[in-house]
Amino acid sequence: MRSHKRLTLLVDNAIIASKNHEINPFHVNSSKVGVCKQPNDISFLYSFQATNDTPIKDKLRYARLEAGYTQKELAENFEVRVSENAQEAINILNEGSDISLIVSDVLMPGMNGFQLSNRIKTDLAFSHIPIILLTALSENNQRMYGFLEGADDYIQKPFDVDFLKTRIISIIHERLRMKETFMQKMQSGFIDNAAIDDIVSIDDNFRRKLLDLIEISYENSDFSIEELSGDIGLSRVHLYRKIKTLFGISPTDFLRNYRLNKAVILLKQKQYTISEITYMTGFSSPAYFTKCFKTLYNVTPTEYIVSSGKKIDC
């Protein structure tokens, strides 16, 4: 495998850079779906368009030529794995491969691209993965159907590979922007669940389930990521990948920061001591609470109170 390089493309003489985001070059297989590792991996599913009277051997030859060309072009900038059909792509996901994005043809033998999109977007373990559908179908109702099945973008054939690359980069950058905005809001002192919904406006079902579970459990210092994983119905690995993908931090950090946000609300109310707030927000000791608070906000709880002009007992 080639060494890491920055995700930077020259498209129509315009530089598209990734704000120093590192992406691995593709490890290219000899089949038809591509896969990349989180947060830099992208999964690509290749199929083909051909008429019904095209001989099978010519269909296969055309499919391989098309897949090979697209794969080669994408491999200049991304790490890719390839599968022969939709089911193989699902198998790759189920194997635990860390996938950031899927590019799928619509017309494929067996499960088509619409069905693949629906299958992924209704599976809580993978519903955060963006999907781009490629198709020669030009009717608006087909495009609408693709979006209804959960596709994030829909590109009509024939297309310029550079255009596909820019769409991939755009989606990746939008996800990065959401994570950066979330962390900025979190570090500013307070972010409520409504604001989280506004910022991280994808994967609604998972996000709401996650926030609801944490909201009813954060006060319990014994509430753990293992318990959260079981309550939400995902393995620890899948939970880690989803939260890391959506919010840019680990489940442990997300839960701790959520508790700290609740602590900020209580500090502003001037009704409780720092020791009381410690245990009300699920921290095991005032010392640990103070350490975590300073790590996120760069001030201790006491310093935060003083800077806010609200002096309370510790």
DSSP assignments along 75-119, one per residue: TTTSB--EESSHHHHHHHHHTT---S-EEEESS-SSS-HHHHHHH
Helix (H) or strand (E) holding 45: strand 43-45
- Please give the DSSP secondary-structure letter assigned to residue 41: B
CATH code linked to domain 189-307: 1.10.10.60
Identify the pLDDT of residue 28.
27
Domain ranges of the chain: 5-175, 189-307
Of 21-35, 222-236, 268-282, the least confident: 21-35
pLDDT digits (tens, 9 = 90+) for 253-273: 999 999 999 999 999 888 999
Tokens of 255: 């839960």
Query: Residue 165's pLDDT band (boundaries 50, 70, 90)?
Result: confident
Confidence of residue 143 (pLDDT cuts 50, 70, 90): low
List CB contacts of 223: < 8 A, sequence separation 6 or more.
217, 255, 282
The answer to whether residue 33 scores a pLDDT higher than 80 is no
Burial class (CB in 10 A: 0-12, 13-18, 19+), 239: buried
**Model confidence at 278, in pLDDT bands (50, 70, 90)?**
very high
pLDDT at residue 7, as a whole number? 27
**Sign of the CA dihedral with 305 first, then 307, 308, and 312 last:** positive
- If one compares 206 and 22, the residue with the highest pLDDT of the two is 206
pLDDT, mean of residues 54-63: 50
Q: Which residues are CB-neighbours of 197 under 8 A, at least 6 positions away?
A: 204, 207, 208
Count of residues in the chain: 314
Is the CATH number of domain 5-175 3.90.226.10?
no
pLDDT digits (tens, 9 = 90+) for 204-224: 889 889 999 999 999 999 999
